[in-house]
Structure 1
């Protein structure tokens, strides 16, 4: 971990040091409603300069529907080489339950693609052998609303597969709870929680494979950059995978860092320090 944090005016200040970047989506590329134009521009320019760009997201859906969402948002395909999601990694965890009942927690139909072709049966917690959490049931929910349900899951000894390790995410001008917040509650109360998204190794291995496929050769991790807005997932994941981090301060940590005001570089360094990540620099929004 570096002893101080470097404020960057733009990604171009360091982009030449990296052959590939593994970039977060929600909070870096878009806010859940619309893309950030400066971020899109920066990624397009990075690829035009020869860099390979893989989106790495904790979205609890396979990458196909996420690409379709980015298309609808107007994010051009030439902004990225590929995408890997927590949903992609989580499907491998659900697959062993083929032919048996899983209990889904999250929007009723939004995450249907997570289960496609796996042959599992979605049912009640009373009959299930595992709980699969994509998100809370609605954007207005808080984890404490699930305590009674958690008690039932614990009584039955159900493991939880959490398809979205994020605790909170930026949505427009507010923060909403994600599946990771419910995973934290379940673990705190003694439940077993399994995750495959950031910061865990499986999703990074998949992202590296896509980056090397795009580059046409193996890549030196010293020349791979992680870009993200979360200490818990992006910074920790970059640290554990052995790659540098460009930290985006203007999303879920914006308030505590005064990201769009008089940001203190030392405060940024101290916040990221717990992850052990090597901080290449920080900026409030990704831009070139």
Structure 2
């Protein structure tokens, strides 16, 4: 049964390594959460290691710059591991061919360029008709578009049997008060159209394996924190990692009137419907 806690400090001594989601836990895309930052700093002061594990499709350096601009200090984490990092390696290995149609905004171009890997030179972004595969980092304009806007174009490439690499398995994210679609929503549509989608972020194993290598750990007492039931929590369960579900993020509307603490009965019913049982739940990370 999921235990509701009031702070990370209640259980922190039982863990050595923390895999913490960013969006919805540490910030909302516009502002950082001071209480969450303090909780991570305290965990590290107690001897724990923190990997910020995010399904952002951009490489580590771009995400580090983003959170620095939101005033997330470097002493709150040991490393940043992104879905983009894990997916980049797959793309450079030729998993979706060398000529790819890129679906995503200009801000995600670092996925192709921000790397010292010499294999990057072999990848060329082309029009859909010339592509051997598809790379989705997001919607071209996530502020106005939905997956329905991509139905026709994705239908055409799915009919040709092109593989699709999804650099961000998240379906939606909250940008302030606005809910936006992510690359995972397009990959989901692609599979519904009969296409093959490849995933490398949460809940899939590669991003956790990469985080462990980056932190220099193997095994140990691990804890994952996130507000995505189908990504953060499902990934933790699949990896055999204890987890904290942040109910005040994507699922806040289902948890009662106090975003700082979920109502026991509402949480239990919602988790039962989702078919997942995180180890702990908390309103906001603190």
Give your verdict on TM over 0.5: yes
For structure 2, the 5+ residue unaligned runs are none
Q: 1:235 is matched with which residue?
A: 233
Q: 2:158 is matched with which residue?
A: 154
Deviation of 1:167 after TM superposition, in Å, equals 0.2
Q: 2:262 is matched with which residue?
A: 263
Asked whether the equivalents of residues 198 and 233 of structure 1 are also in contact (C-alpha less than 8 Å), the reply is yes
For structure 1, the 5+ residue unaligned runs are none
When the two structures are superposed, what TM-score results if normalisation uses the length of structure 2?
Answer: 0.91
Deviation of 1:271 after TM superposition, in Å, equals 3.4
Asked whether the equivalents of residues 84 and 207 of structure 1 are also in contact (C-alpha less than 8 Å), the reply is yes
Structure-2 change in CA distance of 1:226 and 1:13 (3 Å) = same
- CA displacement 1:169-219 (0-9 Å, x = unmatched): 1100121110101111110111100011000001011112233x2xxx643
Deviation of 1:259 after TM superposition, in Å, equals 6.2
Count of residue pairs brought into register by the alignment: 277
Q: Distance in 2 between matches of 1:251 and 1:281?
A: 15
Secondary structure (helix, strand or coil) at the match of 1:131 reads: strand
Q: Distance in 1 between matches of 2:267 and 2:75?
A: 31
- CA displacement 1:16-73 (0-9 Å, x = unmatched): 1111110001111110111111111111111111111111110001111111111111
Q: Distance in 2 between matches of 1:31 and 1:241?
A: 26
Q: 1:201 is matched with which residue?
A: 205
Which residue among 178, 182, 206 is the counterpart of 2:182?
A: 178
Secondary structure (helix, strand or coil) at the match of 2:3 reads: coil
When the two structures are superposed, what TM-score results if normalisation uses the length of structure 1?
Answer: 0.91
Is 1:127 matched up with 2:130? yes
Is 1:20 matched up with 2:5? no
Asked whether the equivalents of residues 21 and 53 of structure 2 are also in contact (C-alpha less than 8 Å), the reply is yes
Deviation of 1:153 after TM superposition, in Å, equals 0.9
Which residue among 53, 57, 61 is the counterpart of 1:56?
A: 53
Q: Distance in 2 between matches of 1:18 and 1:100?
A: 42
Q: Distance in 1 between matches of 2:251 and 2:164?
A: 27
Is 1:70 matched up with 2:67? yes
